Amino acid sequence: MKSKLLALLPTLLLVVLALYACQLPHIVTPGPTATPPSMPTATATMTFTPSPSPAATQTPVRSATPTHTSTPTITPTPTLTPVPTATEFAEDTQPEEARYIYVDQKAQRMYIFEAGELVRTMEVSTGRPEPGVYTPAWEGRVGWYIGTFFAFGTYADEGWFLFHDGFLVHSQPYLKDAEGNKIYQDGEAQGNYPASHGCVRLWPEDAAWFTEWNPEGVLMTISDPEVDYWKGVFATMTAQPAEASEPAETPEPEATPNP
């Protein structure tokens, strides 16, 4: 038995040496490749030093001082200039109303306002200073449109209802001749003195404008009738001498007599 083992020993030694020789080449070749990568990584850390320099730009934030100039924007004083839009008028022009009408019975004028601004002045003739005839002081909204009507023996156009007992705004009254032409009455009273039965009369062209303006629902104020004042005016008018001592001129044939 021992002799057999001894005979195999040389063979086993050759096998072991062969196996050992096969493994040696794999150990030698990987060694040199491990060292190169470690060198470049050390230089990369050096680039950290330049980064602190941008921190110095923190100081320019003090440019906030120029924003102190925002105070000049407190110049809203120019907004006070719209105040002069108030119209030179003794009474309240009701600027809070989009449109407003004021009738001054002493001046015999109608004033039309839009947003407190006077846009038109028209001559009127209100009720005579007699009981049951004078135009009373009133404030309210203009009513509906009546148009042409007939009252007190005359026609009138562009009638607008104001309040009870048939008080209206309308054109100067007129009669019609045989051909249907309009013959307007009391023209001398327009803008001069009250001559109506209580309504507010306008010149025909002003009455047409008034309708075009469409006053329905518009606030209107009619001032005090100034009855005593107008009675005094009428008294002085009738007390003046006739001054017609000169021979009266014969009327021209073309003149149409008032009916």
pLDDT in tens, 146-157: 999 999 999 999
Q: In the prediction, which pLDDT does 92 show?
A: 83
Q: In the prediction, which pLDDT does 166 show?
A: 85
Of 85 and 141, the one with more pLDDT: 141
Pairing of the two strands 219-222 and 99-104: parallel
Q: What is the mean pLDDT of residues 187-191?
A: 97
Does domain 86-239 match CATH 2.40.440.10? yes
Q: First and final CA of the chain: distance in angstroms?
A: 177
Determine contact, residues 175/187, Cβ cutoff 8 Å: no
pLDDT at residue 126 above 70? Answer: yes
For residue 159, the cross-strand partners are 147
Q: pLDDT grade, residue 3 (50/70/90)?
A: low
Q: pLDDT grade, residue 46 (50/70/90)?
A: very low
Q: What is the mean pLDDT of residues 225-253?
A: 72
Cβ burial of 76 (10 Å; 0-12, 13-18, 19+) is: exposed
pTM as predicted: 0.59
